[in-house]
Amino acid sequence: MDMKKLAIFLFPILLTGCDKPRRCDDAYEAAWDDKNPTSDWSSKEEIESYEQGLYDSDMYDDGYDDGLNRRNPKYPNDYFYMDGYKIGKNYR
């Protein structure tokens, strides 16, 4: 994923008050890598970042699958869905 696009997306998360931005970034990235960094000691912001990462990666995967299988896009306004859709469409 393009780092500039990722930075633009993560900026609002950082503004929500994550007390340790790097840990929130790590939690978000871990969701994309199918890892679970959260624990009983995780802050609310880290957990929210992880959950947002799970949602975004699921949307990307759905878009990729739809593009690969020549389906019409279901979520044309979702950035991650359409990114996956375009890449899946190119690999047909």
SS3 content of the chain, % helix, strand, coil (to 5): 65, 0, 35
Alpha-carbon distance of 91 to 41, in angstroms, equals 41
- Answer whether residue 22 shows pLDDT above 90: no
**Residue pair 42/18 in contact by the 8 Å Cβ criterion:** no
pLDDT tens string 34-88: 887 767 778 888 889 999 999 999 999 999 999 999 999 999 999 999 999 999 9
- Answer whether residue 16 shows pLDDT above 90: no
The token pair at 38 is 């959260």
pTM across the whole model: 0.72
Torsion of Cα atoms, 40 then 26 then 56 then 48, to 10°: 40
